[in-house]
Chain A
Amino acid sequence: MKWATIRWHLRRSDWLLTGAILALMVIGILFIYSASFQRADMPVGKMYQRQIIWALVGIAGYVTLAMTDYRRLAEYAWWIYSVVLVLLILVLFIGHQVHGATRWLNVFNIQLQPAELAKIAVILAVSRYWARPDRDMSSLASLVTALIIAGGPFLLIARQPDLGTAATLLPITLFILFAGGIRMKFILVLFLIGLMLAPIGWLGLGNYQKERILVFLDSSRDPFGAGWNKIQSQIAVGSGGLTGKGYLQGTQNILGFLPRTVAPTDFIYSVIAEEKGFVGATAVLTLYGIILLCGTRAALVAPDKMGRLMAVGITGMIFFHVFVNTAMTIGLMPITGLPLPLMSYGGSFMVSMMLGFGILQSISIRRIRR
């Protein structure tokens, strides 16, 4: 690659986005350390070190995709989508099982979670489908097709079962369809259908999933099991106060009330809120806000509809994760197991988020107006 090309990319890239991403990554690693430093046992004690490696891998992916024209990527949308479908099917058969859910594939000793890649693949595929100039957005047939594209991976992931991750595909798809110009009537109808399907979905849920929702509605229902995390997370956040107890001083997670298995993953935000208080927690939220606005800006300046929709999809994905995770941490939502982008411990998740950001940056770099 020529120096001129690189300079072109550097000059046109959205540095605010890159800066916010790097800031969140660093904060994440610091607090994964805080949530796990006093654990002497090897595999968990080294969590932050492994997260650094994942972050570096993520950055490599980010830079690569940022320098790749997203339109070339879009040409492979169906291939990527198909490969992910195959991986998801493979997981069901030869997947690695942890706590009753089969979510991981062992590839060269690295445990891969194809469901994370599925989010990106669905964004690419749905955008590609919905962005075609001859697409009749008022036709029911094309709406149904778009839903089917998202529905395949959805069912496969729900089957693992990983309902939280499967559920993210829904708002992502709706964001893209909405921005792409779907008729409001359809949005309303979809909403009503969703309401009607809810009771049926309830019957389809596994017992632990039902329990989590019931516990959310009444946390004294199971103060020993699922309710424990919710109560303890709330106390952790609440006891942080305005400025927090200080870095590495969070008694909730250090004393182990916030279970040490979830503190660095799903409940990382609770550790931040406890140790850095309202100030730290809102600062992190602000960084996410900046990322979401950068995503929105990328959508507005994208050179074509394809780019616009992809940017909206990626932004929607980030938003959904951030919102559900923080709401869960402070006890506003049932415990879903959705991690916090860029901060929660986890390799597949980190890399797939960074790939998404890479695409976002790529769109932003190839903008047509300011």
Chain B
Amino acid sequence: MARNSLDREYIRIRVLALMMCVALGFISLMLWRIQVRHGHQYQRDELRQSVRRVRIPGMRGRIFDTQGQVLADNRPSFNIVIFLEEVRQPGTWTRTINHLEDMLDELSETLGVERELTREAIQSHIRRRLPMPLVAWRDVDETTLARWAEQVAGRPGIDIYTEAVRVYPQGALAAHTLGYVGRADLVHDDIEPFHYYMPEMEGRAGLERRFDAEMRATAGARLVRVDAVGYRHGDIAVREAGAGQDIRLTINHHVQATVEAALGDEPSAAVVMDPRSGDILAIASAPGFDPNNFIPAITTEEWRLLSGDERNPLLNRAVAGAFAPGSIFKPVVAVAALENRVVSPQTIYDCSGIFHLGRASFRCWARQGHGPLNMRQSLERSCNVYYYRLSLVMGYDSIYHMASTMGLGRRTGITLDHEVSGVLPNDAWKRRVFNDAWRDGDTVNLSIGQGPITVTPLQMAVVAATLASGGTVFSPRLVSGIRPFGEGSFTSIPPEPPLIMPWTAETLSTVRGGMRDAVMGDRGTARLGRVPGLIYAGKTGTAQFGPRDAGRTHAWMIAFAPYDQPRYAIALIVQDGVSGGQTAAPKIGQIFQELLAGEESS
């Protein structure tokens, strides 16, 4: 038995050895088949093969406003291209290049377009992108296309190649928000290496940049077989490019256009929010620019004009500009005082036009003084002395905390680049920056929105919306939905949950009442902004900046309308304006009037 079992083992080991030999023999046989019998075929393949991978960009996602109006779109661009492999000439490269030049000259005459390609450009194309079609004219117009169809179409080796190009149908509308795209600088990646890249766009500014990953499509690819010389031999396979996702904004193009019209061309900015939801209805900065100028690439001259302009049209003042708020800060101080029970709405301070603190004196803008005022009147007439006194009674700390609660001194987190936080000073800040303690003079300055404090128009729109909504501090939402390609409806991007402040009805009615009087009252600072048939509330500000004796001021106003059930909250600044009442208020009035008219007509 043992003998038997050993024999069996030996037999089996030999069986295994035989099997292994057969297997290796089989591999050799296959090698013979591939390398020797069909070797020529593979050698031909290998010689001629040389497969090239071409990356094809996908269709970029679009940007819509809240009503479905398209703000950033793609349009076809018609390029006239020459397929080199079909027009190649035997012999030296020079003959092919000469032939190409002749073709281009003839085409240029037939189509009535000036020749764009130099001999050097053709040579460089042959050297670097031989298997790719040579683009003779990019983005030709309709006349040229018509001539093409009549006289050239069907000729071998010449064809129209269509590619998608970004277009902003509304021109300069919301340019700072949308941003623009530019030619992507594609880096070679090892996972899917490409030999050739077709022009592809990437977001360079604004939402185009912030949502680039969403709007950018997955690229397609084409496998092109080139022959031994390097000409295209044929396509092996194509993987279709994908399409990017569309995004939907909270912006309403009608509101946006209204606001931009009111701002005009002088350096200014405005933000309109819906105080019921925190949605941004319009966000504008002037002067603006037309993002279409950046497509496909901005010319050097245009770029010099834009970047060299002293008014800085590329800056989005609504989020990237920080300015002293001036008197539009007073409602914040008023809410802080009332909520901290420092004063009552009936508390009266007397304004003589000047306020003395130690050896320093602080003026009210009304030289003769306002006389005795309660809080509501102080807001209507924007008395400084009232707030000087009030602030010293309550202390800067509660002002600081209230302003901080309403979002001043930090970024709102809106999905736009370059947002700044502004400055909300306190003792620690002053020690850090000026190495000096906080003094009563600082408190007095802060009470009327002067001194180191700076805010962005967007932050003040949030403050306006907070007052309009009765204490709801919103995180402003700009993008409300995203839609994968081919799907009918947008997937909603919910807003950040707001912070709801438990302010008393008395506080709200006093502060909001004071702001109402500022517009509607006979001595209100914002009376120039009145709109027939509309009762609304607002607060003007005339913020000094720069050296004191220069006397330069920013004109501000925040407002919400209608007074009873606000649907719009707005903050507007005109840089270097005369005053809030004279410069900003009429613009706010104009905006509200047109928004009202627009609502009625629709």
**A→B interface (CB under 8 Å):** 175, 178-181, 220, 223-225, 234-242, 251-252, 255-257, 261, 273, 277-278, 281-282, 285, 288-289, 292-293, 296, 299-300, 305, 308, 312, 315-316, 319, 322-323, 326-327, 330-332
Residue among B8, B23, B50 making CB contact with A181, cutoff 8 Å: B8
Residue among A224, A235, A316 making CB contact with B239, cutoff 8 Å: A224
Residue among A224, A261, A323 making CB contact with B190, cutoff 8 Å: A261
Complex-state Cα separation, A238 to B36, whole angstroms: 8
* Contact, CB under 8 Å: A300 / B41: no
* Contact, CB under 8 Å: A285 / B9: no
- What residues of chain B lie closer than 8 Å to A236, measured between beta carbons? 46
- For chain B, the bracket of interface size reads 35 or more
Taking the nearest CB of chain A, how far is it from the CB of B223, in angstroms?
Answer: 6
- What residues of chain A lie closer than 8 Å to B223, measured between beta carbons? 223-224
B140 adjacent to chain A (CB < 8 Å): no
Taking the nearest CB of chain B, how far is it from the CB of A106, in angstroms?
Answer: 24
Complex-state Cα separation, A224 to B235, whole angstroms: 13
- A300 and B10 contact, Cβ closer than 8 Å, known pairs A238-B38, A252-B46: yes
Taking the nearest CB of chain A, how far is it from the CB of B391, in angstroms?
Answer: 59
A-contact bits for B581-597, CB 8 A (1 contact / 0 none) = 00000000000000000
Residue among A234, A293, A300, A308 making CB contact with B34, cutoff 8 Å: A234
B93 adjacent to chain A (CB < 8 Å): no
* Contact, CB under 8 Å: B39 / A181: no
Please name the residue on chain B nearest to A255 by beta carbon. Answer: B50
- What residues of chain B lie closer than 8 Å to A252, measured between beta carbons? 46
Residue among A225, A273, A292, A308 making CB contact with B20, cutoff 8 Å: A292
- A300 and B46 contact, Cβ closer than 8 Å, known pairs A237-B34, A281-B31, A282-B28: no
Complex-state Cα separation, A319 to B26, whole angstroms: 13
**B→A interface (CB under 8 Å):** 5, 8-10, 12-14, 16-17, 20-21, 23-24, 27-28, 30-32, 34-36, 38-39, 41-43, 45-47, 49-51, 53, 190, 192-193, 221, 223, 236-237, 239
* Contact, CB under 8 Å: A288 / B24: yes
- A178 and B39 contact, Cβ closer than 8 Å, known pairs A239-B46, A285-B24: no
* Contact, CB under 8 Å: A330 / B34: yes
Task: Among B8, B41, B51, find the residue whose CB has the most chain A CB atoms closer than 10 A.
Answer: B51
- What residues of chain B lie closer than 8 Å to A180, measured between beta carbons? 9
| 6 new A-B contacts at CB < 8 Å, known A312-B16, A319-B20 | A224-B237, A238-B43, A239-B42, A252-B46, A285-B28, A326-B27
Taking the nearest CB of chain A, how far is it from the CB of B357, in angstroms?
Answer: 66
Complex-state Cα separation, A286 to B24, whole angstroms: 8
Complex-state Cα separation, A223 to B223, whole angstroms: 8
Please name the residue on chain A nearest to B6 by beta carbon. Answer: A305
Instruction: List 23 contacting pairs A-B, 8 Å CB cutoff, sorted by A.
Output: A178-B16, A179-B13, A223-B223, A224-B237, A234-B42, A235-B49, A237-B34, A238-B34, A238-B46, A239-B43, A241-B35, A255-B50, A256-B193, A257-B49, A278-B31, A285-B31, A292-B20, A296-B14, A300-B13, A308-B13, A315-B16, A319-B20, A327-B30
- What residues of chain B lie closer than 8 Å to A257, measured between beta carbons? 49-51
- A235 and B8 contact, Cβ closer than 8 Å, known pairs A281-B35, A322-B24: no
- What residues of chain A lie closer than 8 Å to B192, measured between beta carbons? 224-225
Residue among A251, A277, A332 making CB contact with B30, cutoff 8 Å: A332
Please name the residue on chain B nearest to A244 by beta carbon. Answer: B35
* Contact, CB under 8 Å: B50 / A319: no
- What residues of chain A lie closer than 8 Å to B32, measured between beta carbons? 278
* Contact, CB under 8 Å: A237 / B13: no
- What residues of chain A lie closer than 8 Å to B23, measured between beta carbons? 319, 323
- What residues of chain A lie closer than 8 Å to B50, measured between beta carbons? 255, 257
* Contact, CB under 8 Å: A305 / B31: no
Complex-state Cα separation, A81 to B223, whole angstroms: 49
